[in-house]
């Protein structure tokens, strides 16, 4: 009997697993944002105040960090970036500053805080914003029509 054994290696290239922006109990999941910036196995992006690209500032008035877990050619990496002025974060992946998960005590502590205080998804803002705008325009149109009808009815009653 012949048995074939196939072993599949981890996906080659760059894969972003998780990314979080924030500080002490106030985190936002920015994984979709970074995944959307992935081209040709690299990421080159900036994230600036007021953090509109990720749904707003997750911790107003406090210094933030960006924690990114990714795989590059099948090997896990963790990158920790501190907020800087004027551009909050310059993100380049893969990064020489990344270390294996568990090697940086600060990054490990921050990940524990993220687990203890689940991050808000950025999708709640980014994907519902066009719907909010459409409903706002419809509301204004109905309001203007109501005001117009009221003014017309006042004019008719004044003529009588």
CA triple 130-132-137, angle to 5 deg: 95
Tell me: the pLDDT tens digits for 136-146? 677 778 878 87
Pick from 33, 39, 25, 23: which is nearest to 93 by CA? 39
Question: What is the 8-class DSSP label of residue 12?
Answer: P
Residue ranges of domains in the chain: 14-122, 128-160
Question: What is the 8-class DSSP label of residue 78?
Answer: E
Tell me: the pLDDT tens digits for 34-44? 999 999 999 99
Quote the pTM value.
0.70
CA triple 112-114-118, angle to 5 deg: 130
Cα distance between residue 47 and residue 138, in whole Å: 33
Tell me: the pLDDT tens digits for 97-116? 999 999 999 999 999 999 99
């Amino acid at each position: 009997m012949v048995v074939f054994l196939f072993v599949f290696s981890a996906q080659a290239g760059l894969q972003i697993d998780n990314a979080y922006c924030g500080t002490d109990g106030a985190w936002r999941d920015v994984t979709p944002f970074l995944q959307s910036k992935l081209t040709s196995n690299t990421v080159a992006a900036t994230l600036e105040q007021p953090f509109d690209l990720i749904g707003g500032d997750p911790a107003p008035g406090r210094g933030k960090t960006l924690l990114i877990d990714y795989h590059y050619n099948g090997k896990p990496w963790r990158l920790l970036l501190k907020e800087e002025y004027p551009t909050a974060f310059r993100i380049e992946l893969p990064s020489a500053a990344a270390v294996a998960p568990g090697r940086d005590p600060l990054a490990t502590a921050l990940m524990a805080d993220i687990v203890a205080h689940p991050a808000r998804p950025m999708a709640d803002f980014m994907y519902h914003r066009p719907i909010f705008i459409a409903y706002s325009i419809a509301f204004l149109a109905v309001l203007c029509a109501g005001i117009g009808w009221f003014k017309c009815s006042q004019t008719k009653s004044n003529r009588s």
